[in-house]
Amino acid sequence: MTAIDDLFVRLKAERKKAFMPFITAADPHLAFTRQVLRKLDQLGCSMAEIGIPYSDPIADGPVIQASYTRALGTNVKLHDIFEQIALERPNIAMPLVSMVSYAIIHRQGPERFVDDALAAGFAGAIVPDLLVEECGSLSRICKAKKFNLIQLVTPTTPPERALKIAELSSGFLYFVSVTGITGERTELPPDLVDRVSWLRERTPLPICIGFGISKPEHVRLLAPVSDGLIVGSAIVRLMEQAAKSEVIALQSIDQLVTSLMAAIQP
C-alpha cells in the first residue's frame, strides 16, 4: 500500500471525496512552491500534484504552459525540485504526486527517477505522454518499488483501451473531462457523468476527474460520480500573482480552494 492507496481507502470509509490541487514547481520560485504546499495542506487538501516544468508540455493549456515557461526561466532542474520537496515533506501530511513528461523520466533513467522521487517524498507520478503500449517497463518498476503510476483516460479513449490503461495504472485513474488542453471552462460535456459512471463499474481503481474544473458548480456536478477532483489552471492562474505579491497570491488560493472544497463533500 502506498500513501495514495491509504488515502483513498480512508476517504471511502469516511464517504468523502478527494480534492487535489495542481501547482507548477518553481513558479515563480521553489520557496513559494513550498509555501503553497503548506497552505494547501493546512486547508485540508487530500493530495497535491506538482508539475515538473517542461519545455514542450503535453495537453497543457496557456495558463500552465506560461507557468512552465516562468519556472524554466529560473533555470530550475529536476534535482532542485526534489531537493526542496524533500526539505518540505516533513511539514506536509498529504501525499504528493508529480506530473511529469516521460522525456524527463527517460533522460533520468526510470529506476533512478522513481528512487529519487520516492526519496523526495513523492508517492506517485502522472505521465501524460506515456502510451499504454509503452508503459509496461515503467509500470513494473513502479509496482516493485510501491510507487504509483497514474495514467490518463480521455473522452475519446475507446472503451477497450480505457480498460487496458486502468489495468496498468495504480493509485487512481485520471479521467480527463474534456477533449483538448487544460484550462478553465464555463461548461463541461453533458455526457461526462455517464462516461465516468461506465468506467467506475469496470475498474476497482479510484477515478479522479480533471481538466476544466474551476467552479463550485463543476464540483457539485462531478463529485457524486468521482472519487476525487483535480483543479489546476484556476489555481496556477492565481499563483502568477506571486510575482507582485506572494501574500495576495496565497490569499487568493486560500479563497478559491476553500470554496471548491466546501462544494465537494456531500
Cell digits of residue 222:
462531478
Find out whether 218 and 192 touch, Cβ atoms under 8 Å: no
Please report how many Cα atoms fall inside a 13 Å half-sphere around the Cα of residue 7, on the Cβ side. Answer: 28
pTM attached to this predicted model:
0.92
Query: Along the 266 residues of the chain, how does pLDDT read in single tens digits?
Result: 899 999 999 999 999 999 999 999 999 999 999 999 999 999 999 999 999 999 876 656 788 889 999 999 999 999 999 999 999 999 999 999 999 999 999 999 999 999 999 999 999 999 999 999 999 999 999 999 999 999 999 888 999 999 999 999 999 999 987 654 444 444 555 677 788 889 989 999 999 999 878 888 888 888 888 999 999 889 999 999 998 999 999 999 999 999 999 998 76
Q: What are phi and psi of 210, to 5 degrees?
A: -140, 175
Q: Which of 112, 96, 109 lies closest to 40 in space, CA to CA?
A: 96
| Residues acting as catalytic residues | 49, 60
The topology under which CATH files domain 3-264 is: TIM Barrel (3.20.20)
112 class by beta-carbon count within 10 Å (0-12 exposed, 13-18 middle, 19+ buried): exposed
